[in-house]
Amino acid sequence: MVVPVPESVSAMRVSDADRGAVVDLLTRAHAEGRLDLAEHSDRTSRALAAKTVADLGSLIEDLAPARIRGASSLAARAPGTGPMRATMSSTRREGVWTVPRTLHVSAFMGEVRIDMTRAVFTVPVVELDASVIMGEVKLIVPEGVNVIDESTHIMSEFKVKGSLRPAPDAPTIVVRGSSVMGGITAKAPR
């Protein structure tokens, strides 16, 4: 699987911490049997000599998706981690972006659409702090991600559309906050 990285990010110089994070991922892949000793040795040498994000990305692109394993600090450079607000309007976040530990979302008579199918998860548990008043928040989550509703609903509902089948090592999204005369929906991609 190719880990998509925006072009402006791929040319960025990497730090020793970035190189170390990739070496850690390669070592874990070797321990899990996904790389043999020769592949591990070759890729580790190349990781320690890497200069750019693209150099490091090419070494891990065929390993487990970063959104599931959360292995690299490279993901922290992807855009789009701030709060999302829709007041009598709509907003969306899609494509490659880093899911922060806590994502603040507010929809006042508006719609917030959060497409996480290509997003990069860097932590195992993400808190979605929602404030919905006569609006709607729509989550599109990748296969395997678990969604748990801990939010308060007043004349509104939390819906799961389709079948979300959580994988054991996949991230979990915990929805907190409140919804008044609105709704929060989670669904798998089509």
Query: Would the pTM count as exceeding 0.85?
Result: no
Residue 8, pLDDT score = 55
* Phi, psi (degrees; rounded to nearest 5) at 93: -130, 130
Return the C-alpha torsion angle 92, 141, 28, 102, nearest 10: 60
Residues 43/64, Cβ–Cβ less than 8 Å: no
Q: Which stretches of the chain drop beneath a pLDDT of 70?
A: 1-10, 64-80
Q: What is the pLDDT of residue 142?
A: 87
Cα distance between residue 144 and residue 58, in whole Å: 25
pLDDT computed for residue 10 by the predictor? 67
Distance between CA atoms of residues 180 and 190, nearest Å:
28
